[in-house]
Amino acid sequence: MKLWDLTPDDLGDRLYIDGVDSLASPRLKLAVADRIGGVTLQRPVSEELIAELKARRIDYLDVDPFVSSHSVDENDNGAIDAVSKEWVRIAQEANCAVALAHHVRKSQSVEASAFDARGAVSMINAARSVLVFQKMSKETAQEFGIAECDRKGFFSVYDDKNNKAPPAARSEWYEFVGVGLGNGDATGPEDSIGAVQRWEAPNTFGGVSARQLLSVQRLVDERPDEARKHPKARGWVGKLVAEVLGRSLDDPGDAKVIEKMIATWCQNGALGTVERANHKREVVEYVEVRQWAIVE
């Protein structure tokens, strides 16, 4: 609230927070496993929740985490499907949007997707949309010019069920910020708490004009032996691009951006790839001009 300059009066009676693990609160268990391996839906709990949502005119309910709303085997597709469909029924009966926070399986090598969700896939299948919260990768941080020590303070969100993951620069990005509580005095500094706000990712491809693209094409045409496609090649075409744009390939961020530029130009027809023999008579891939840029 402090970050957004809000007061309790701004919220009125529209925000309710309750902890399902609180001793003072009833346990929100929509389903339990029975003794023979089946699932028992606890309809009295669901009906009481629906009544409360209607009475308080709740439009949006966030359940975090989903696993706390049941006590069935999270790897059992049938059981999780029953719990998920019960949440769908609650949303329909109460005319209320319901969000279920869920964790993904731990993976250090690839970015997470909706189907990396922990346990049974039936929860994903039952959901209308699946928002994936993704930490900023090392490669994306380099592209955006974010220091390695700071990148964990940024994350993106995209709907992985309705859309393919968008490019990093077009994802919805957020950052964690520290908000001072204003309680500092002579005995010590103020405390701070983490909050989240939107963050605009830089357009790393922006600012490249048609005239600059034409200059790149001319160099590719004039110095074809220096237009190798592969970034690891000694005569990588990215060096010609860096020469035109005044960027340094020693900067990992610049190198990544240039690699993406070349890929984009090859996709839209400004450049293309061709195989031909090099000075060692080895057949390798080069980049060549396809459709010349028009400069007015």
Only one residue has tokens 């995209």, namely 158
Contact 194, 176 (CB under 8 A): yes
User: What is the structure's pLDDT at 4?
Assistant: 86
Closest of 115, 27, 39 to residue 72, by C-alpha: 39
The one-letter amino acid at 13: D
Domain ranges for the chain = 1-128, 130-202, 210-289
- For residue 286, list its beta bridge partners: 228, 274
Specify which residues 198 forms β-bridges with. 174
Q: Which residue ranges in the chain fall short of pLDDT 70?
A: 19-26, 107-110, 163-170, 204-207, 296
Amino acid at position 40, single letter: T
Taking the C-alpha atoms of residue 84 and residue 90, their distance in angstroms, rounded to an integer, is 10
Instruction: Tally the C-alpha atoms within 13 A of residue 261's C-alpha that lie toward its C-beta.
Output: 28
Buried b (16+ CB within 10 A) or exposed e, 231-269: eebebbbbbbbbebbebebeeebbbbbbbbbbeebbeee
d(CA 251, CA 129): 38
H-assigned helices in the chain: 8-11, 43-55, 77-94, 122-126, 138-144, 210-222, 238-245, 252-268
